[in-house]
Amino acid sequence: MPLKPTRLPAEEERFEVRFIMREGEEEVDCFVDESAIEDLDGGEDDALVERFGRHRALFEAIASWLHDEGEIPRVELHHVVQFRER
């Protein structure tokens, strides 16, 4: 079952951003590694969570794809590359 986006705010943690998606009524913690954010929005001086926000829809799509594949929805740089090649 694909994960559904929420409007809950993302939170910056050590070298990653945590955000919440839903599977039915259940909340699912999802994560994006700093390197994946840097790849899409590198060189900016804004906070990591702000840079994540500019690409949130893409990261949500990748997290849902990973979840559907039975993986933990932790987006890393190589996942962004794989998703682009699909």
CA distance 64 to 81: 15
Using alpha carbons only, how large is the chain's radius of gyration in Å? 12
Going from the N-terminus, what domains does the chain have, and what CATH number goes with each? 4-85 (3.30.160.140)
User: How many other C-beta atoms can be found within 10 angstroms of the C-beta atom of residue 70?
Assistant: 6
CA distance 65 to 79: 10
Query: CA geometry: angle at 24 spanning 79 and 50, to 5°?
Result: 45
Interval 41-65: pLDDT, tens: 876 788 999 999 999 999 999 999 9
Q: Please, what's the largest Cα pairwise distance for the chain?
A: 37
Residues of the chain with pLDDT > 90: what percent?
83
Q: Is the pTM of this model over 0.75?
A: yes
